[in-house]
Each structure stands twice: as C-alpha cells, then as structure tokens.
Structure 1
Amino acid sequence: MTIQSPWLKGAIGLALFALVTGGVVSITHALTWSDIQDNRAYAASQALRSLAPEPDYQLDLKQEVIRLGPVPALGQTAEFKIYRARTTHDELGLLLLPVISHQGYSGDIKLLVAVDIKGQVQGIRVLMHQETPGLGDRIEQRKSNWLEQFTGQSLQQLPDSQWRVKKDGGHFDQLTGATITPRAVVGAVYQALHWVQEHHDTLWMDDIQAVRRSL
C-alpha cells in the first residue's frame, strides 16, 4: 500500500526517528551505566580516605561498616552505609556519614561528613550535586574553601540559631549569587549532627556487631 498523505508520511517518519533515537539512548545508557557506577564508587572511596587519611587513621571498608535503612535525618530514603575509622592506637576516631540534602537549588546534594567522638565536624566532601556552574558549584572543595568553615564546629560550640547562613542571621558564609545551595548544606550538616548526638552511645560502641543490632 502506498502512503499518499504527506502529513501521514511525516508522522511515520517522526515516529521511526523517535524509536531509533530512543533505542540508541537506551543502549548507550546500558553500556555506560556500569562505568558511571564504578566512577561514583571510586569517588566515594577517595572521599572516605581523604577524610580519614593514613597514617593517622585506619579505615576498614569491610569491617567497620554499619548498614542502615532509611534515615530521614540524614536525607537517606533507602539502605546506605556508615563507616567508622580507628586511630593508629586502635581507638574509634571518626564516623563517616553519607548525608543528602533534598533542598539544593537544582536537585539533591550528596555529602560525606566526618564527625569525631566529641561531635565535632572534622571535614566534609561533596560527592554529587547538580548546582549551577560558577555559583552553587563552589561548594566543591576543588573550587573554593567554603566547606572548611565547618571543620571544628559542633552543636556545643554553635547554638541552634547560628546554624544558618549569615544572610539569615547565622554563622556560615553564603556564596555570592547563590544562597539556596549553602542553606541546603548547612541544614543537612546540622540535622546530621543532631542525629549523631541522639545516637551517640550506640554509634561509638566498640563492638560493631552490637552497633548494627542496635540501630
């Protein structure tokens, strides 16, 4: 049968183009998904080790791990892992918490927060974000030192009212031209510290199996 209508020919051609394009995208995604996941896993591993550097800490990614289900206070909506690092004297020294803020300007902001036994922040790394280049993306350590202002801070040192950006009357600097992103990070770290404080005794038990059973 010969198709006479130019409109129908165009519609069929467009449909075929969409099918081919969709197929190519799906195949490309399938081929690259493993690489993407591997790259993210590698980046997370590097971030963990940068926050618990040798020789000061011993980071065992197999033994000192706590698997948890959803924890809204950390922004986690599915199963995730917390790691613990020990000092060279085999004493627990750091908790390494993956934290997600759902309040970013362009989407979720995934962080890794290192907290010591006193509840002080020892460092933060950005694992993933979609913030605006040149503005919100300056939360990345390689683009600015903005994250360094959290180091040494705790709920004991700063009252609740100060866990805000300066524009909102708080302690933390905002980024020029980008206030939503810093607000999201400050809020996420604040919530994480409260969660650690609430579960302090359990999280720092020496017996990792007892910790897993208790949380």
Structure 2
Amino acid sequence: MSTEGSGNSRTIGSSMWRNSLALALFALLTAAILATTEMVTAPRIDAAERAAEQRALLELVPAAWHDNDMLADTYPIPEQHWPLLGLARGGVAHIAKRDGEPVAVVIPAVSKQGYSGDIAMILAVNTRGELLGVRVTSHKETPGLGDKVDLKKSDWILSFNGKSLQQPQRQQWAVKKEGGVFDQFTGATITPRAVINQVLAGLDYFHLDRAALIAAAAAPTLEYNDE
C-alpha cells in the first residue's frame, strides 16, 4: 500500500472518529438540557394541572359548601365498577366534606357512545343521590352540533342539576323525541344521548357503591402535601 493511501485512510478514520465523538457529545448535551428542562417545568405543570382540577371541582361543589381539600380527599373506584363508568384505567372519586361530614362526591365517567369519540365528564352527587351538576371535561364532537355538551357552548348540561334515579323515572332518561325529558340538539341526537346514558350510569354507580363512598367520606381527611 502506498504511503499516500495509508495517509488518506488515517485522515478519514480520524475524521469519522471526531464526527462520532461530536455526535455523542451533542446527544449527551441535548439529553442533559431536556432533563434539566423537565426538572424545572414539571412542578409548574403539576401545579397548573392541580389548579385546573380544583377549578373543575369547585364549579360543581363551590368552596362555600365544603371545608376540605377535595383533590386530596379521594376514594379509588373499585375495578368492578370501571366498565359502568367507562373507565379503562380506573379513577378516583373526590369527596367533599363540611365539618367532617360528607356533603358530595364527584365521580369521573367516560361515555364510549359519542359521535366522534369518547366524551369524558365529571358528576357531582350529594349524599341523597341527587345531581349537583355535570361537566364535560373533554370531547371530540362536531363543532356547532355535538359540542353543545360543553358549558362554554350551551347551557344544556345544566339540565341535569337536581336530577336523580327517581326524578325523572328511568324510562324518561332520554331526549324528548324518544320520550325523555332532555332536549336534543338540532341535527345531533347521538351526542346528547351518549351523555344522558353515561350520567344515568354514573348515578347507578353511586347507588351501587354508596355505602363505601359514604364510609370513605366519613374517614379523617389527610392533609395535602405539595412538596
């Protein structure tokens, strides 16, 4: 092999080694930056998510009605009830208390019957089994039609306030054109039907698990620690 050829090989090899080293150093630096950014932003994100959850709960159970931290006071929903509530990975009910006595329970639920996908919601139920309110927390329903389940678009969701398993009767838990007491949307029946059915299922869950929910509500409140 000529001296010139050997020199070129060494030069190419050295260049490849330097490029590989530079790439490795860049990858390590990028990973370090991402890790540092996550460490800095994670607490802020957690705080923002907690504040959003708190606002959603307080919409249904105002601060004047309870004196505990509903985010900290929770009850894990038993797995056998997950299908009824549409919870693929489970969830927790949030307990509202006043002077140590249970006031209400906020229950998560997900309807799988939406026109464009899942409709996630929370329902607040008082200890008598009456709905204090319902809020849709996420959905993919058609803008201008199915999105009326969102309180920002329509007050339709407020029609659940005060309802229970007894009022109205079960057969009346439907849109009006199907013999029920709830309004349908112009051009959209699937979405309101999906929400109505899931809210009724949520009340069924409360009735089935009421004793455990009330017992959990009667337990001492654990102080929330945000450190």
Is the TM-score greater than 0.5? yes
Structure 2 counterparts to residues 15-164 of structure 1, below 5 A:
42-61=51-70, 63-68=72-77, 70=79, 71-87=82-98, 89-164=99-174
Cα distance in 1, alignment partners of residues 191 and 52 from structure 2: 21
Spell out, residue by residue over 1:105-125, the C-alpha distance to the aligned partner (whole angstroms, 9 max, x if none).
Answer: 000000010000111100111
2:149 aligned partner, one-letter code: I
The runs of 5 or more residues in structure 2 that have no matched partner are 1-36, 221-227
Cα distance in 1 between the residues matched to 2:171 and 2:136 = 24
Moved more, 96-105 or 40-49: 40-49
Residues 199 and 186 of structure 1, relative CA distance in 2, 3 Å threshold: same
Report if the CA contact (8 A) 1:125-1:141 is conserved. yes
User: Residues 140 and 39 (structure 1 numbering): CA distance in 2 closer, same or farther, change over 3 Å?
Assistant: farther
Q: Is the 8 A contact 1:43 1:127 kept in 2?
A: no
Q: Write the distance in 1 (CA, Å) between the matches of 2:78 and 2:109.
A: 13
* Coordinate RMSD, CA, aligned: 2.4
Change (3 A) 1:37 1:90: closer
Identity across the alignment (%)? 38
- CA gap of 1:167–1:142, structure 2 versus 1, over 3 A, is same
Deviation of the 1:171 alpha carbon:
1.2
The letter for the 2-side match of 1:72 is P
Report if the CA contact (8 A) 2:125-2:133 is conserved.
yes
Q: Deviations over 1:127-170 (max 9, x none)?
A: 10000011111111111110111100101121110011112111
Runs ≥4 in structure 1, deviation > 4 angstroms?
Answer: 34-42
CA pair 180-62 structure 1, distance change in 2 beyond 3 A: closer
User: What is the Cα deviation at residue 63 of structure 1?
Assistant: 4.0
- Cα distance, 1:39 vs structure 2: 6.3
* Length-normalised TM-score, structure 2: 0.71
Cα distance in structure 2, aligned partners of 1:166 and 1:36: 43
Distance change >3 Å, CA 208–CA 78, structure 1 → 2: farther
Which residue type is aligned with residue 65 of structure 1? T
User: Is 1:169–2:179 an aligned residue pair?
Assistant: yes
- Answer 1 or 2: which has greater helix percent: 2
Q: Tell me the TM-score normalised to structure 1 length.
A: 0.74
Instruction: Count residues with an aligned counterpart.
Output: 177
Matched residue SS, 1:154 = coil
Q: 1:40 to 1:60 in 2, by over 3 A?
A: closer
